[in-house]
Amino acid sequence: MTIIVEDGTGVTGAESYVTVAFCTAYHAARNNTAWAAIANDTLREGYLRLATDYMVQAYRGKWKGLRAGITQALDWPRRSVVLDDLALYYAVPYTIVPTEVMNACCILALKASAGDLAPDLDRATASEIVGPITTTYFAGSPQHTRYRSVDLLLKPYIDGTDTNGQLVRG
């Protein structure tokens, strides 16, 4: 089944932010041979669907602005997104999916090819000894994998009003 890609028009039924060709070019430009080593485009499309699903689950409610249309399947395109990390404020056109969002989808698709992006969580390990190996985690350390490169790439598009962080008195 051919993947349905969001093209900036608010596609109903869209399953990915990028095409296989875009993702292949992205990884080729970075000399990443792991994407090219995936057996076929059907598998690549599946990984793009998983990456997009993850992005919707992880970032919905955190994006700046509002979805451009009520019938669109994915979070992008969006209206009222203003980037303030540049010398001047810049309004992102509501007819596009930003390159950073597309690139993040490519990164996550490759990670999806290596395993579950959002595995079930178990209790946090405080200390574990197996033979000569001891594992101890710091209190407050995250229980789940954080894709820091993706978080940093998407940072300009994330609303800074997230209340999940810690408040630190200076």
Query: What stretches of the chain adopt beta strand conformation (E)?
Result: 66-67, 78-79, 82-83, 90-91, 127-130, 133-136
Query: Domain total for the chain?
Result: 1
pTM of structure: 0.80
CA atoms within 13 Å, Cβ hemisphere of 48: 29
Question: Cα separations (Å) of 62 from 117, 128, 151?
Answer: 18, 35, 11
The answer to whether residue 15 sits within a structural domain is: no
The answer to whether residue 2 sits within a structural domain is: no
The answer to whether residue 162 sits within a structural domain is: no
pLDDT at 90: 87
pLDDT at 42: 97
The H-assigned helical ranges of 81-135 are 99-114
Q: Quote the Cα angle for 40-99-76, to 5°.
A: 90
The answer to whether residue 115 sits within a structural domain is: yes
Question: Cα separations (Å) of 141 from 63, 118, 167?
Answer: 24, 17, 16
pLDDT at 165: 45
The answer to whether residue 1 sits within a structural domain is: no
pLDDT in tens, the chain (170 residues): 799 999 999 999 999 999 999 999 999 999 999 999 999 999 999 999 999 999 999 999 999 999 999 999 999 999 999 998 766 788 999 999 999 999 999 999 999 999 999 887 655 666 677 788 877 766 666 666 778 889 888 988 998 764 444 444 54
Question: Cα separations (Å) of 10 from 15, 70, 158?
Answer: 11, 9, 19
The answer to whether residue 10 sits within a structural domain is: no
The answer to whether residue 97 sits within a structural domain is: yes
The answer to whether residue 6 sits within a structural domain is: no
pLDDT at 159: 85
pLDDT at 149: 84
Residue type, 169: R
Q: Which domain holds residue 124?
A: 20-157
pLDDT at 105: 98
